[in-house]
């Protein structure tokens, strides 16, 4: 074999290996249509994706909730925080000339005390609000699969990846969303500052604490308004993320077919089982004729036996049916067992063709069957109750 042939063979093997590796990679990098995934996800796939942490979630919702709750907490605890910060500054200024900070453990303990007092309340609210922001979107869900290392996520098809990252509807949506956030925050800041421009220009002649309060009030208004607006915008982001999530879970027709076979049973196998069950019922059906309430006949070609027990049946049930010789044998057994035999050609033919042994009669036959049962009960002197 020539060198060129060997080289070509190696290149072919390398190309096949590369294609196989790409085929195994996650489909999350690509649009559903690009992979032939045109079918909506089944309930099983949605449930499995949720167990793996793949859910529709917007980080903007969580961020806006955290911002809003944290800012409100800072406002409510502002007096408490200011008093503790003033005490902390005062304490350290006093101690700076009296103790050796390199050897005195008191300074370290005091620092930890003020650190906990000032940060824990706000951090706790931020932590709880972050959990709340996720729960309102996806419910109670805990899984570590999204953070489990997976090398298949590292090497996508770069052409399609960059197309999705920079030229897809998702990329455009994220771009406009980022511009929108910046614009909204800038506009809110401008409006609030412009409304207080007279106070701000006179701050140089205002006492320190009063000036601090004015700036704090303006900053609080800007933050609260921004949090509310961002939360409203986050709703649209959540709707978009939900749509993208459903798109990412779409399946090919073959995947839907294979899943149906796995979890619902192969239609061919189910058909064969049903056919076998009908054969068994047919072999034993003559034993059911004596317990029937009525046998409807053609009168010579078809016979259908029906039973109706109100305490355990929603509607009359076909317990036996037969054609020609079997129909004649059913009538003989019915006569021997004193089971009513009613001639009704259309009903007998329809029940024989459309209702299997062991099935309840469909609604379209209720009126005709009620008429037959009335005849039977009249013959037996039994009062007819509504079916």
Q: How far apart are the first and last CA of the chain?
A: 85
Residue labelled with tokens 């959540």: 238
**241: exposed, middle or buried (Cβ count in 10 Å: 0-12, 13-18, 19+):** buried
d(CA 127, CA 194): 34
d(CA 86, CA 171): 47
Q: What is the pLDDT along the chain (387 residues), one digit of tens a residue?
A: 333 333 343 343 344 433 444 443 444 444 555 556 677 777 777 787 777 777 878 888 899 999 999 999 998 998 899 899 989 988 888 887 777 766 777 878 888 999 999 999 999 999 999 999 888 887 777 766 666 666 655 555 555 556 565 666 777 777 888 888 889 889 999 999 998 888 888 888 888 888 888 888 899 999 999 999 989 988 888 888 888 878 877 887 777 777 777 666 656 666 777 777 666 656 667 788 888 888 999 877 889 999 888 888 888 888 888 888 888 888 888 888 888 888 888 888 889 888 888 888 888 888 888 888 888 888 876 554 544
d(CA 374, CA 376): 5
**Tokens matching residue 42:** 């089944």
**pLDDT tens digits for 225-263?**
999 998 998 888 888 888 887 887 788 777 777 777 766
Domain boundaries defined on the chain? 55-248, 277-380
Residue labelled with tokens 């200024």: 93
d(CA 22, CA 331): 69
* pTM strictly above 0.75: no
d(CA 357, CA 320): 6
Architecture per CATH, domain 277-380, reads as: 3-Layer(aba) Sandwich (3.40)
**pLDDT tens digits for 160-191?**
556 565 666 777 777 888 888 889 889 999 99
């Amino acid at each position: 074999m020539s060198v060129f042939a060997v080289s070509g063979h190696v290149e072919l093997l390398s190309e096949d290996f590369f294609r196989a590796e790409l085929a195994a990679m996650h489909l999350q990098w690509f649009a559903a249509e690009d992979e032939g995934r045109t079918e909506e996800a089944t309930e099983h796939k949605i449930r499995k994706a949720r167990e793996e942490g793949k859910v529709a979630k917007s980080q903007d919702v969580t961020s806006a909730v955290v911002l809003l709750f944290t800012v409100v907490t800072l406002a409510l605890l502002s007096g408490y925080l200011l008093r503790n910060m003033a005490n902390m500054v005062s304490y350290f200024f006093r101690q700076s000339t009296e103790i050796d900070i390199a050897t005195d453990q008191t300074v370290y303990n005091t620092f930890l005390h003020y650190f906990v007092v000032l940060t824990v309340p706000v951090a706790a609210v931020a932590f709880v609000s972050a959990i709340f922001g996720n729960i309102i979107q996806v419910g109670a869900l805990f899984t570590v699969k999204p953070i489990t290392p997976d090398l298949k996520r590292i090497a996508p098809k770069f052409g399609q990846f960059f197309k999705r990252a920079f030229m897809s509807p998702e990329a455009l949506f994220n771009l406009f969303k980022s511009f929108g956030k910046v614009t909204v925050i800038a506009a809110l800041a401008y409006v609030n500052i412009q409304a207080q421009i007279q106070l701000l220009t006179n701050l140089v002649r205002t006492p320190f604490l009063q000036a601090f309060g004015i700036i704090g009030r303006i900053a609080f208004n800007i933050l609260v308004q921004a949090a509310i607006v961002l939360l409203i915008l986050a709703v649209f982001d959540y709707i978009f993320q939900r749509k993208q999530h459903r798109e990412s879970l779409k399946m090919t027709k073959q995947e839907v077919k294979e899943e149906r076979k796995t979890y619902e049973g192969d239609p061919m196998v189910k058909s064969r089982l049903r056919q076998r069950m009908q054969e068994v019922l047919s072999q034993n059906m003559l034993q059911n004729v004596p317990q029937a309430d009525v046998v409807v006949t053609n009168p010579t070609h078809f016979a259908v036996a029906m039973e109706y027990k109100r305490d355990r049946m929603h509607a009359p049930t076909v317990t036996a049916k037969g054609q020609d010789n079997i129909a004649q044998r059913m009538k003989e057994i019915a006569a021997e067992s004193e089971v009513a035999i009613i001639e009704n050609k259309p009903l007998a033919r329809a029940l024989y063709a459309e209702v299997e042994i062991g099935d309840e009669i469909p609604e379209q036959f209720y009126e005709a069957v009620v008429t037959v049962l009335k005849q039977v009960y009249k013959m037996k002197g039994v009062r007819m109750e509504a079916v």
